């Protein structure tokens, strides 16, 4: 049972607080009029923060106190709080783009947090104005840009190792005999191992350095990563290339998806291995089940299955133009192309393809979560971790309940992204693969 926020229970001292008055204006706006849950969420986190109880604003506590979740519920298995928080960020963004354009005070919820932050727009504008000349004068070099990417990915590797262990320990204590939900139920069986293949971010970095994507055939060459060293004349970039040729790095979105799969795998958790794309061999794919977390630009092995798919991700120049999915056989009302974000970390519509196909020997299953940017891949993992959104996907495929037998399919998903955060998604088109 959900808990309903009672406005009358708020202390009178909030009524004269300009921050609370802002929250009331936002909650009464057309953007929130039809969304009681988001309205209550905004009021709840604002009230707790303004009364000095921001320490209570964790995902687990919000789920328990605001949405009536049981005290032992697991946020790893139930992502509803995260979903609502992303939707709330989107609604706030829409409010300030329209009715709230003239507000002198803004409220925002930093990515990955649940505590709202109130800022004066004048102070924000002045700070931006003061920093602008500095940014113009210190335009980053290619070497600096690559270094920033490198250290960010290096941090992601550390986070992956820590969170993978923490998530696994948490997961094995939660309903160890639970059967995995569809479509993960098709990815686990008693006779095969299931391999979660994480992105080879080093390969992605090489694509950025070159300015064009390398092919799967290039990737298979034994000395492929040594070619990086000859791409630059800068000593700094050469050292970075040398490191890339030896290191297997991955990204943040993989961490989140791996954690959710471990939480949903039930009694099959001990049959899961987590592999880097770089460690695979061609003959491996004829045995077992594989879950690929990324597109050809980060997991070149995905190219092996493109001929079975209707929605094919474009290949070409890196950074200079948006990536897109090409619709091989459009149906009435469908587009021929679906263009995603031009670059990661921005705002706009992103696309991701979720595909489930048999492996080469027909004895195992291949699940591909393929966004044009990392936000798309992250959103695909979140969709499959959420019961309501899985049900929506089933309905889009023409199914009323989890299939008893294996079904092969493909689904193109539109994802709304705000400043690098997936906030909502919808099924655009589906195909049953025969």
Q: What is the pLDDT of residues 23-50, one digit of tens each?
A: 999 999 988 887 888 999 999 999 999 9
User: What band does 6 get if pLDDT is binned at 50, 70 and 90?
Assistant: low
Is 254 a member of any domain? yes
Q: Name residue, tokens 């995905």.
A: 302
Segments in 252-335 forming alpha helices (H): 252-264
Least confident of 91-100, 123-132, 306-315, 323-332: 123-132
Sorted by sequence, the CB contacts under 8 Å of residue 386 that are 6+ apart come out as 79, 80, 83
Are 175 and 289 contained in the same domain?
A: yes
Q: Name residue, tokens 């489930």.
A: 356
Query: Which pLDDT value is given to residue 184?
Result: 94
Is 416 a member of any domain? yes
What's the rounded mean pLDDT across residues 268-290?
Answer: 87
Are 36 and 175 contained in the same domain?
A: no
Are 125 and 17 contained in the same domain?
A: yes
Query: Which pLDDT value is given to residue 240?
Result: 73
Are 184 and 316 contained in the same domain?
A: yes
Are 123 and 185 contained in the same domain?
A: no
Residue 416 has pLDDT above 80, yes or no: yes
Instruction: Give the residue, 258 or 173, on which the prediction is more confident.
Output: 258
Instruction: Give the residue, 9 or 29, on which the prediction is more confident.
Output: 29
Q: Name residue, tokens 């970390």.
A: 345
pTM: predicted TM-score of the whole model, two decimal places: 0.67
Q: Can you give the residue range of the structural domain that contains 56?
A: 10-137
Least confident of 59-63, 236-240, 343-347, 364-368: 236-240
- Taking only the tens place, the pLDDT of each residue in 164-180 is 445 444 444 444 457 89
Specify the number of domains making up the chain: 2
Asked whether 422 and 350 are in contact (CB, 8 A), the reply is yes
What's the rounded mean pLDDT across residues 184-198?
Answer: 91
Percent helix, strand and coil across the chain, each rounded to 5? 50, 20, 35
Are 120 and 193 contained in the same domain?
A: no
Question: CA-based angle 40:422:52, to the nearest 5?
Answer: 40
Are 308 and 186 contained in the same domain?
A: yes
Asked whether 372 and 353 are in contact (CB, 8 A), the reply is no
Which of these, 99, 68, 100, 62, lies nearest to 83 by C-alpha position? Answer: 62
Is 351 a member of any domain? yes
Are 84 and 185 contained in the same domain?
A: no
Are 50 and 182 contained in the same domain?
A: no
Is 402 a member of any domain? yes
What's the rounded mean pLDDT across residues 271-275?
Answer: 91
CA 167 from chain centre, in angstroms, equals: 17
Helix (H) or strand (E) holding 58: none
Residue 133 has pLDDT above 60, yes or no: no
Listing from the earlier edge strand, what are the strands of the sheet with 324-327?
Answer: 311-313, 324-327, 337-339
- Taking only the tens place, the pLDDT of each residue in 101-132 is 888 999 999 877 899 999 887 654 444 344 33
Are 356 and 425 contained in the same domain?
A: yes
User: What band does 331 get if pLDDT is binned at 50, 70 and 90?
Assistant: very high
Are 86 and 195 contained in the same domain?
A: no
Are 131 and 270 contained in the same domain?
A: no
Asked whether 17 and 10 are in contact (CB, 8 A), the reply is no
Is 383 a member of any domain? yes
């Amino acid at each position: 049972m959900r808990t309903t926020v009672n406005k009358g229970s708020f202390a009178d001292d909030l009524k004269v607080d300009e921050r609370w008055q802002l929250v009331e204006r936002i909650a009464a706006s057309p953007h929130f009029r039809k969304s009681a849950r988001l309205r209550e969420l905004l009021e709840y986190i604002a009230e707790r923060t303004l009364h000095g109880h921001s320490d209570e604003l964790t995902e687990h506590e919000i789920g328990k106190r605001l949405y009536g979740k049981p005290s032992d519920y697991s946020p790893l298995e139930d992502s509803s709080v995260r979903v609502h928080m992303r939707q709330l960020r989107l609604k706030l963004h829409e409010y300030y783009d329209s009715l709230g354009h003239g507000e002198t005070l803004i409220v925002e919820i930093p990515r990955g947090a649940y505590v709202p932050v109130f800022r004066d727009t004048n102070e924000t504008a002045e700070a931006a104005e003061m920093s602008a000349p500095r940014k113009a004068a210190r335009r980053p070099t290619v070497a600096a840009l690559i270094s920033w990417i490198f250290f960010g990915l290096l941090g992601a590797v550390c986070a992956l190792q820590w969170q993978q262990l923490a998530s696994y320990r948490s997961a094995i204590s939660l309903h160890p005999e639970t059967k995995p939900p569809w479509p993960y139920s098709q990815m686990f069986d008693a006779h095969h191992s299931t391999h979660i293949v994480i992105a080879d971010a080093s390969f992605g970095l090489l694509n950025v350095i070159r300015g064009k994507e390398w092919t799967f055939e290039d990737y298979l060459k034994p000395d492929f990563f040594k070619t990086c060293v000859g791409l630059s004349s800068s000593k700094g970039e050469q050292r970075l290339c040398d490191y890339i040729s030896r290191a297997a790095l991955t990204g943040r979105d993989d961490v989140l998806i791996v954690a959710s799969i471990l939480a949903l795998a039930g009694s099959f958790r001990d049959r899961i291995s987590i592999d880097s794309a770089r460690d695979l061999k061609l003959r491996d794919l004829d045995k077992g089940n594989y879950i690929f977390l990324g597109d050809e630009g980060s997991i070149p092995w995905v190219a092996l299955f493109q001929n079975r798919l209707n929605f094919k991700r474009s290949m070409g120049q890196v950074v200079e133009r948006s990536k897109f999915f090409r619709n091989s056989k459009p149906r009435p009302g469908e587009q021929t192309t679906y263009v995603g974000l031009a670059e990661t970390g921005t705002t706009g519509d992103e696309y991701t393809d979720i595909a489930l196909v048999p492996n080469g020997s027909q004895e195992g299953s291949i699940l591909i979560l393929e966004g044009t940017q990392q936000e798309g891949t992250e959103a695909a993992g979140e969709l499959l971790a959420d019961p309501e959104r899985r049900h929506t996907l089933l309905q889009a495929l023409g199914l009323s309940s989890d299939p008893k037998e294996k079904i092969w399919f493909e689904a193109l998903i539109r994802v709304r992204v705000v400043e690098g955060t997936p906030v909502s998604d919808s099924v655009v088109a589906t195909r049953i693969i025969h």
